[in-house]
Amino acid sequence: MSDPRTSARDAALSTLGARPPFYRDATVVRWIAQIGTLIAVLAAMWFLATEAGDSLRARGANIDFDFISDYIGIKVGWGIDTNPDTGGRALWVGMVNTIRMAVAGIALASVIGVLVGLARLSSNWPLRRLAGVYVEALRNIPLLVQILVYAAVLVSLPNVSFGTGPISGWIHLSNKGLSIPRVFLADGFYQWAVCLLIGAAVAHVAFRRLAERRDQTGQQTRAGAWAFGIIAAFAIAGWWLHPVFGWLGSVVSGLADAVGSIPPGAVQLFAALVAAGVAAWWIRRFLERHRTPAGRMRLTDDDWFRMIFAAVAALLVVLFVAVLWPGLSSWAVNSASDGLGVLADKFGNGRSGLPVDAMRPDIVQPGNFVNYGPAGLNLPIGFAAVYFGVVFYTAAFIAEIVRGGILAVPKGQSEAAQALGLRRSTALRRVTLPQALRVILPPVGNQYLNLTKNTSLAIAVGYSDLVQIGQTVYNQTGKTLQVMAVWMLFYLACSLTISAVVNFFNIRLRIVER
């Protein structure tokens, strides 16, 4: 006869170990809710887009992007092509102008912001007060007002004439804009770049070995200085020896022909294999991370759902490439072949000149009027006004971020540096700033995003950025929605790129716990 107490205990244990029904399982319900929400959002977006397209077509509005390949008959005031042959080429000129403005603005705004931020913490009272006035004044004046002020000042400058300064032959400033020396990539740059890549590879190997020796022996090996010296040596030697790499042009040309002959089906198969391989690699790493030192593994329902989601994502990639957009493979093959062909031309055709060259600005008189010549880098009034505006405005915010980041470093760090006998500049460079960068970098990344988006104010002074050219394009073609879609995709790509770069360095600067 069985013991009633034993039977009750077994029944209780079996009840605790039993799984609840799937509709009451918290993990299952959570994943179903997330997937259902995702499907609902995508379905709503698809429905709204379909309804908008039907409505536009019912009103006779054309929503295709044929203007990208059609001639629209517009001229661009400044850029890589002042007479674009298609609407797509015109928009590309605007993108290049915007990227030039953003990259150059980020570089100069960072330098000015750091210097002003350090001046705000200086023990020199006039310097500290001057930096404070700069920050408080420029932060509280709207950017558009500043751009218009700079444009008005530039327009009021004297006309161009021979001997125009402030430094004749080097810097010319007039009501035509700014002309400065132009540094450009010459014929031998790509061959020289091969020398730099070889030097960088050798420097990387040397740096790692010297760093390992330093960690093992404690001896100061100056790994960074040796790496820099190796790259400099290869750069100096390659300045004269770079023509020996001209044979790479024929190699790249042959590679372009080989890529162009790849059938689209092979590209689809390769993409499918890559997607499946990445999913399998991720699942394998996931399982390895959950394996105990004894070799055992216990997976929860959440873990199983993650692996299933990775496999489904790979399947969706395969369906997208092979079924939903089969033309993507042909486009990828043609684009890769054309890109390699352009690169082959950079190596060939007897390109053996200097890697980098420079030209001083000049002033010419082709007719009745004196104007800037083509030798220098000629920046129109619109570019100069917008550039000065976004740089000085953004630098004021970066200065405050730098000041706040330095003040966030515990005071004991600077006191310890002083106790070790370090000079203030050395302590700032070796102790304070490396720790402050962890605080400074994320908000500075936001300011880089703001600077890039603020370049769209160039339309107020007639500078040919993407927004100004896009407005001209949709006025000519009536494709307002299509041009706005290009705007959104371009600025989204810029924002994601800047965020990715900033996050990369942010991860490298974080404290690694043992």
pLDDT at 350: 60
pLDDT digit string (tens) for 195-206? 999 999 999 999
| Residue 243 pLDDT grade (very low, low, confident, very high; cuts 50, 70, 90) | confident
More confident residue, 337 or 11: 337
pLDDT at 446: 92
pLDDT digit string (tens) for 52-81? 778 877 877 677 777 888 888 888 888 888
| Residue 1 pLDDT grade (very low, low, confident, very high; cuts 50, 70, 90) | very low
Average pLDDT in the chain: 83
Kindly report which listed range (126-130, 416-420, 488-492) carries the lowest average pLDDT score.
416-420
* C-alpha distance from residue 280 to each of 241, 304, 396 (Å): 46, 14, 49
Residue pair 360/374 in contact (Cβ under 8 Å)? The answer is no
The length of the chain, given as a count of residues: 514
pLDDT digit string (tens) for 373-413? 888 888 888 888 999 999 999 999 999 999 998 888 888 88
pLDDT at 301: 66
pLDDT at 139 over 70: yes
Q: What's the rounded mean pLDDT across residues 479-490?
A: 87
Nearest CA-CA partner of 195 in 3, 356, 12, 38: 356
Q: What's the rounded Cα separation, in Å, for the pair 397 and 106? A: 12
pLDDT at 295: 64
Question: In this prediction, what percent of the chain has a pLDDT beyond 90?
Answer: 22
Listed in sequence order, the residues at least 6 apart from 345 whose beta carbon sits closer than 8 Å to its beta carbon are 249
pTM of the model: 0.75
Q: What's the rounded Cα separation, in Å, for the pair 454 and 304? A: 45
| Residue 459 pLDDT grade (very low, low, confident, very high; cuts 50, 70, 90) | confident
pLDDT at 238 over 70: yes
103: its two tokens:
């990259």
